[in-house]
Amino acid sequence: MRKYISFFRMRLMAGLQYRAAALAGLSTQLVWGAMEVLLYRAFWLEHPERFPMGMEALAAYIWLQQAFLTLFSLWSWEFELINSVKTGDVAYELTRPADLYGMWMARSLAVRLSRALLRMVPVILAAVCIPAPYGLRLHTGPAVFLLFLLSALLMLVVVCAYTLLIYALTFHLTDPNGIMVLSVAAADLLGGGVVPLPFLPDGLRQIASLSPFGSMQNVPLRIFSGDIPLPEIPAVMGLQVFWSAVLILAGYLLTRSGLRRTVIAGG
Amino acid sequence: MKLYIHFLSIHLRGAMTYRLSFCLSCLGYLLTTMNVFFGVVFLLDRFQSIGGYTLPQLALCFSAVLSASGLAECFGRGFDVFDRLLSDARFDRIMVRPRSLVFQVLCQEIKPAVFFRFVNGVILLVWAMGAGAVAWTPWKWVTLALMVLCGALVFFGMYLINAAVCFFTLEHVEVLNIFTDGAREYSKYPFGVYGKGVLYILTFLVPLALVQHWPLQYLLDRGPAWYGALPLAALAFLAPCALLWRLGVGHYCSTGS
C-alpha cells in the first residue's frame, strides 16, 4: 500500500506545479458559473412555483460544480495512459513490482485532486462574495457537511474507476475514442452537467440517478446544497459505494485479462 | 480563390484518410450540440416559456449562432491554433511568400469536421421552421442569412484577436475562449434572458447580440424592422480586430531558428 501512497504523493506534487493553467481556467469558470446562475435566475423570477429546488440551493450547486469541475469532468482523459497501451510503453510499467491497476488508480486520483485543489479555492472565495440567493452559502449542519466530504471522495473514486475501465478497454479495442465520446455525452446528460438532476423530466430522472453517472457530481453537489434530505443520504451514498465496487472490479478484471493477452514485441 | 479551393480539397482529402476519426469527431459535435439543446428542451418542458420565447423560437436563435460559429471555426481554424504557427516558426515562411498573410493563415488549417456543426445548425433551423417559429417574409429571410453570415464574421474577428494576442504572449490565451466557446454555448437563449448587463456587454463590447438577440426581435415581430439590419452594424467589430492584427504583425520578431 505504501508504494501506491508515495506514487500518489509524487503525482500530486507534480500536478500542483501548473499554477498558470489553473489561473487561466479560473476566469472561464467564474464566467461560466455566472452565466448559469443568471440563466436559472431568469426562470426562477418568471416561474418560481415550478422550480424543483430553491434558488439558493441551485446557486450553491452551480458554484460548487464550477469549483469541482476538474474533479469529475470525464473529458479530461489521461491520454498518456491510453497511448502507453497503444505504443507498448506500458511494458515499462509492468517491470515494476506493483499492480498496474493500483498504480493507475493512484495516478488518476492524484491528477484529478491536484487540478481541483488549485482551482477550487479562488472559485469558492469569489462565489462566497456574491450576494444571496445567487452566491455560495453553506445551508447545512456540520454532520451533513461531513457526509458531503465523504460523498465527494466517493465521487472521485467512481469517476476514476470509470475512466480506468475505459483505459482497460484499450487493451481489447484498437481505438477507444468512440466509447470516450459517448461516455462524455452520457455523463453530461445523466450526471447533472446539462441540467441538475431535479430539472430532468420524470423517467429520465430516475434512470439518471440509478446510473453510474448519477453517482458522480450529482450526489456531493446536492448533499452540499441541502437538496437531498438527511434520511435519503445513506441510500444515495450506498449507491455510490456499489458503483465504485462494480467499476473497480470490472476495470481490474479487464486490465488483468488484457495484460494476459498482451504480447510486447520488440526491445 | 482558386488557390483556396485547392487547399480546401487537400484538407478534405487529409481528413477523409482517417475516416473513422473524422466520423467520431462529427459524432462528438453532434452529441455536444444535442446535449446543449436537450438542456433547453428539459427546462422549457418544465417552465413552458422564458421571457416570452417558446421552444421553436429558442431553437431558431440557437441554430443561427451555431451555424455561424460552425462556419467560422471550420474555415478560420488557422487563427484558432495560431500559437502553433508561431512556435514552430511556420509564420516566418508565410511572411516571405507573395500572398496576403490572412489568406495564407486561413489556408494552413481547415477543419472539415467542424463543418458538421454548421449542418447541425441547419437541421435545427429546419426543425424550428417546421414548428412554426416565425411568420416568414422575404425580408426576414434576408435577416436570417445576415445573422448567420455576419455572425460567422464576428466569430472570425474574435479568432483574429486571439491570434493577434499570440504575437505578444506567444501562447494561446485561454481567457479569450470565454467569448468564442462561451458565446456559442450560451447563445441557446437570446442574450436578453441573462439580464441587461450581459446584453449590453454583448451589444457594445463584443457585438454578438447584434447577430442574435436584436435581429431575433425583428424575426419574432417583437421589435422594429431596423433591428433586422443590425447584423451589418456588427461588422464594425472587424475594424479593431484587423487593427490589433496589424499591430501584432508589426510587433512580431521571429521565435526561433
Q: Per-domain residue ranges for chain B?
A: 2-251
Neighbours of B136 (CB within 10 A): 12
Residue B96 Cα to chain centre, angstroms: 30
- Cα–Cα nearest to B188, from B115, B120, B92: B120
CB atoms A181 and B173 under 8 Å? no
Q: What is the pLDDT of residue B75?
A: 85
Its pTM stands at 0.88
Residue A11 located in a structural domain: yes
Would A106 be classed as within a structural domain?
A: yes
Task: Give the domain extent around A254.
Answer: 2-261
Chain centre to alpha carbon of residue B239: 17
Answer yes or no: is A267 within a domain.
no
What is the ipTM for the molecules in this complex? 0.86
CA A27 to chain B, closest CA, distance in angstroms equals: 7
Give the 3-state secondary structure of residue A264. Answer: coil
Q: Are B182 and A32 in contact (CB under 8 A)?
A: yes
Chain B residues whose C-beta is within 8 A of a chain A C-beta are: 20-21, 24, 27-28, 31-32, 34-36, 38-39, 42-43, 45-51, 173-175, 177-178, 182, 186, 189, 193-195, 198
Question: Does residue B44 sit in helix, strand or coil?
Answer: helix
Q: Is A195's CB within 8 Å of B194's CB? A: no
CB A38 within 8 A of CB B50: no
Position B196 pLDDT exceeds 80 = yes
Q: What is the pLDDT of residue A155?
A: 95
Distance (Å, rounded) from C-alpha A135 to C-alpha A189?
25
Q: How many CB pairs under 8 A join A and B?
A: 83
Q: What is the pLDDT of residues A174-205, one digit of tens each?
A: 778 888 888 999 999 999 889 999 999 999 99
Q: Best-predicted range by mean pLDDT among A10-14, A153-157, B204-208?
A: A153-157
Give the Cα separation of B5 and B111 in Å (integer): 14
**pLDDT at B125 exceeding the cut of 80:** yes
Q: Rounded CA gap, B229 and B150, in Å? A: 11
Check B175 against A177: CB less than 8 A apart: no
Of A28, A200, A201, the CB nearest to B175: A28
Chain A residues within 8 Å of chain B (Cβ atoms): 21, 24-25, 27-28, 31-32, 35, 38-39, 41-43, 46-47, 50, 52, 175, 177-178, 181-182, 184-185, 188-189, 193-195, 199-201
Nearest chain A Cα to B24, which residue?
A: A178
Does B27 sit within 8 Å of A27, measured CB to CB?
no
- Reported residue count of chain A is 267
pLDDT at A141: 84
Query: B46 and A52: CB-CB below 8 Å?
Result: yes
Average pLDDT over residues B85-94: 80
A46·B35 Cβ contact <8 A: no
Q: Which three cell numbers stand for residue B173?
A: 490565451
| Separation CA B144–CA B218 (nearest Å) | 10
State how far the Cα of A54 lies from the Cα of A251, in Å rounded to an integer.
38
- How many distinct structural domains can be found in chain A? 1
